[in-house]
């Protein structure tokens, strides 16, 4: 057994204090230790994008960070975007525009899109495709995702 | 748990980081952005027993102008910071144009300049661009520091002159000469993937519009960034006509590079791409040099 590290991190606005092994990936910490299983894990080498979360507002691969590295920082996962009763505009848009099929890629796409739309309130289709280029979706063919992002941008501007 | 266990240190100064590295020698690895190291640890391709995390060392993260027109970049400067920096856009337009081609936004949030060049992947854009711009790197250890030109830093596949206990702390990129032009061209299976082949070109013109200086460096075309020595020689002193450019591209693709075959492309196909990309890159670079006063 290894030395444990006393981690203090804010996840979706809640402060957690947890002893973790340094080798624990952020993705595993979120899913196994905090039970936030909305963050999906596909490839664990940075390629698929399913595990994307926001670290101090910037999109990062949670499979390519150690949980200890978030000490003193803020993490936002898909659970932090909205609730079943109060969906965020992005979640509503994905529902309405059918941007979701199996849902495996969805958490990573929504966190990526959240940070993207905060920087670009009125994106072109090309900019949207560029923004989600680091997120693989095996179901939708991307068209409905692009539509959903456009709809989300409209809702957020309104 | 995927990575094997390790001891973790998170120093807050370079001095402290160097002392951890000195103490643990070969067993220690530096953790920068983690975007190349952590995938390898997740696969257990590498199992360092000690990790020295540089992410809490603010003194390693900066982009500074230098008086002669060049730039200094701290090793922990993230790809995203370089991408959006106005000074980089003004002083190192080749670097500015390169950044969005490196991986995806989520990787660029974390990946660092120092990590990319230290990793020495021959597919890394920053390695070839550093060589093309005539850059150099400052390496520091407890025994002192040394500057190494980028074209002497890369010695083999994933191998540099960095010694155990040594840290790359800074990159210096000189300004480009007047009347110079630049280009980075690459082909990847999907946008932002590692390129099958790419090339960075920097050229300058003299008062008679002849090629004064040229530099052309290929990525994914050998074990290290591949400098196209023969092609450059064929360009120097010449008027950059389509015929001269075409000939230089052919020389580069057939004689200056040493691409391998893998599941993504054969060596022959990579040479074909290198030829086409070199021609396009030189055309764009010379055009920009001509437009630049
Ligand atoms: C899906 C994916 C796609 C990618 N696509 C591209 C691409 O198209 N082009 C590209 O160029 N890169 C690409 N990358 C790699 C990315 O740019 C990495 O960020 C970069 O190669 C490594 O930088 P890092 O800061 O993450 O270093 P780390 O992964 O932390 O470290 C890499 C290596 O360098 C050593 N090291 C790091 N910093 C220093 C230092 N200051 N001094 C001494 N040694 C040091 C480490 O010990 C380690 O051995 C991709 C990565 C992923 C996951
Ligand atoms: S699980 Fe992290 S990118 Fe695929
Ligand atoms: S909805 Fe199934 S992977 Fe995207």
Residues A77-99: tens digit of each pLDDT? 999 999 999 999 999 999 999 99
Which among B230, B235, B255, B237 has a CA at the least distance from the CA of B246? B235
At what angle are helices A89-96 and A106-119 packed, to 10 degrees? Answer: 120
Task: Give the containing element (helix H, strand E) for B29.
Answer: strand B28-31
Q: Is residue B270 part of a domain?
A: yes
Does the reported pTM lie above 0.90? yes
Q: With pLDDT > 90 as the criterion, what percentage of chain B qualifies?
A: 95
What are the C-alpha distances in Å from A136 to residues A105, A106, A110, A130, B188? 7, 10, 13, 12, 16
Rounded distance, CA A19 to CA A17, Å?
A: 7
Which residues lie closer than 8 Å to B203 by C-beta, 6 or more apart?
B180, B181, B182, B211, B213, B214, B215, B235, B240, B282, B285, B286, B289
Q: Is residue B1 part of a domain?
A: no
Model pLDDT, residue B293? 62
Q: With pLDDT > 70 as the criterion, what percentage of chain B qualifies?
A: 99
Model pLDDT, residue B244? 98
B126 and B152 belong to one structural domain:
yes
Atom of ligand 2 nearest to the CA of A47: 3
Q: What is the pLDDT of residues B173-232, one digit of tens each?
A: 999 988 999 999 999 998 889 999 999 999 999 999 999 999 999 999 999 999 999 999
Chosen from B105, B110, B115, B194 to mutate, greatest number of chain A CBs within 10 A = B105
**Which ligand lies nearest to the CA atom of residue A41 in the structure?**
2
Model pLDDT, residue A3? 83
- Average per-residue pLDDT for chain B: 97
Q: Is residue B2 part of a domain?
A: no
**Which ligand lies nearest to the CA atom of residue A40 in the structure?**
2
**DSSP string of B30-63?**
EESS-TTHHHHHHTTS---SEEEE-TT-GGG--E
Confidence label for B2 from pLDDT (cuts 50, 70 and 90): confident
Contact B106 A134 (CB under 8 A): yes
Chosen from B37, B104, B115, B190 to mutate, greatest number of chain A CBs within 10 A = B104
Mean predicted confidence (pLDDT) in B25-46: 96
Range of the domain at B193: 180-291
Mean predicted confidence (pLDDT) in A145-156: 98
CATH for A89-157, options being 3.40.50.920, 1.10.150.120, 2.60.40.10, 2.40.50.430: 1.10.150.120
Q: What is the pLDDT of residues A40-67, one digit of tens each?
A: 999 999 999 999 999 999 999 999 999 9
Is residue A114 scored above 90 in pLDDT? yes
Is residue A2 scored above 70 in pLDDT? no
Is residue A146 scored above 90 in pLDDT? yes
Is residue B292 scored above 70 in pLDDT? yes
Nearest residue on chain B to A27, alpha-carbon basis: B1
Establish whether domains A5-80 and A89-157 are of one fold.
no
End-to-end CA distance of chain A: 54
B223 and B154 belong to one structural domain:
no
Q: Is residue B43 part of a domain?
A: yes
Task: Give the containing element (helix H, strand E) for A118.
Answer: helix A106-119
Rounded distance, CA B158 to CA B36, Å?
A: 11
B191 and B280 belong to one structural domain:
yes
CATH number at residue B23: 3.30.43.10
Mean predicted confidence (pLDDT) in B98-127: 98
User: Interface pTM (ipTM) of the complex?
Assistant: 0.95
Q: Where are the domains of chain A?
A: 5-80, 89-157
Distance A70 CA to ligand 3 centre (A): 28
Q: What is the pLDDT of residues B155-167, one digit of tens each?
A: 999 999 999 999 9
The rounded radius of gyration (Å) of the Cα atoms in chain B is 19
Q: Please say which residue of B173, B203, B231 terminates a domain.
A: B173
B152 and B238 belong to one structural domain:
no
Q: Is residue B84 part of a domain?
A: yes
**DSSP string of B99-162?**
GGGSS-HHHHTT-BHHHHHHHT-TT-HHHHHHHHTT-EEEEEETTEEEEEEHHHHEEETTEESP
Find tokens 């300058």 and name the residue.
Answer: B204
CATH of domain A5-80: 3.10.20.30
**Phi/psi at A10 (5° precision):** -100, 120
Q: Is residue B261 part of a domain?
A: yes
What are the C-alpha distances in Å from B132 to residues B126, B181, B210, B213, B280? 10, 12, 20, 11, 16
Q: Please say which residue of B146, B173, B200 terminates a domain.
A: B173
- Average per-residue pLDDT for chain A: 97
| Residue of B14, B18, B36, B169 to mutate, ligand 1, most atoms within 8 A of C-beta | B36
Mean predicted confidence (pLDDT) in A135-144: 97
Distance A64 CA to ligand 3 centre (A): 21
Question: Tokens standing for B209?
Answer: 């519009």
Q: Please say which residue of B126, B146, B173 terminates a domain.
A: B173
**Total number of domains constituting chain B:** 3
Is residue A1 scored above 60 in pLDDT? no
Q: With pLDDT > 90 as the criterion, what percentage of chain A qualifies?
A: 97
B219 and B157 belong to one structural domain:
no
Q: What is the pLDDT of residues B235-248, one digit of tens each?
A: 999 999 999 999 99
């Amino acid at each position: 057994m290894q030395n444990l590290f006393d981690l203090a991190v804010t996840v979706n606005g809640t402060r957690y204090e947890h002893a973790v092994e340094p080798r624990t990936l952020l993705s595993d910490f979120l899913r196994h230790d905090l039970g936030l299983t909305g963050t999906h894990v596909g490839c664990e080498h940075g390629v698929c994008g399913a595990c994307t979360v926001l670290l101090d507002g910037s999109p990062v691969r949670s499979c390519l960070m150690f949980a200890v590295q978030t000490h003193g920082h803020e993490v936002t996962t898909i659970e932090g975007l909205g609730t079943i009763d109060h969906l965020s505009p992005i979640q509503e848009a994905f529902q309405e525009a059918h941007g979701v099929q199996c849902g495996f890629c969805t958490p990573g796409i929504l966190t990526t899109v959240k940070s993207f739309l905060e920087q670009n309130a009125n994106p072109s289709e090309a900019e949207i495709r560029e923004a989600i280029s680091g997120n693989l979706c095996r179901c939708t063919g991307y068209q409905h995702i692009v539509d959903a992002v456009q709809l989300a941008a409209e809702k957020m501007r309104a | 748990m995927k990575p094997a266990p390790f001891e973790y240190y998170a120093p807050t100064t370079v001095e402290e980081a160097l002392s951890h590295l000195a103490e643990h020698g070969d067993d220690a690895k530096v953790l920068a952005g983690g975007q190349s190291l952590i995938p390898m640890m997740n696969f257990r391709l590498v199992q360092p027993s000690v990790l020295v995390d540089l992410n809490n060392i603010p003194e390693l993260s900066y982009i500074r102008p230098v008086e002669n027109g060049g730039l200094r970049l701290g090793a922990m400067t993230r790809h995203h910071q370089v991408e959006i920096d106005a000074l980089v856009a003004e002083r190192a337009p080749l670097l500015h144009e390169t950044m969005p081609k490196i991986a995806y936004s989520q990787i660029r949030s974390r990946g660092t300049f120092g990590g990319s060049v230290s990793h020495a992947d021959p597919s890394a854009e920053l390695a070839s661009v550093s060589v093309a711009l005539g850059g150099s790197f400052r390496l520091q250890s407890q025994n002192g520091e040394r500057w190494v030109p980028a074209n002497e830093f890369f010695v083999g596949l994933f191998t540099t002159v960095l010694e155990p206990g040594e840290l790359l702390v800074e990159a210096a990129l000189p300004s480009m000469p007047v009347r110079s032009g630049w280009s980075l061209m690459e082909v990847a299976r999907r946008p932002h993937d590692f390129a099958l082949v790419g090339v960075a070109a920097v050229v300058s013109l003299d008062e008679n519009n002849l090629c004064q200086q040229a530099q052309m460096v290929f990525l994914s075309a050998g074990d290290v960034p591949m400098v196209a020595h023969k092609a450059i020689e064929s360009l120097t002193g010449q008027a950059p006509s389509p015929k001269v450019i075409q000939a230089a591209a052919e020389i580069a693709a057939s004689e200056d590079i040493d691409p391998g075959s893998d599941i993504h492309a054969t060596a022959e196909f990579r040479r074909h791409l290198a030829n086409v990309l070199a021609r396009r890159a030189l055309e764009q670079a010379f055009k920009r040099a001509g437009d630049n006063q």
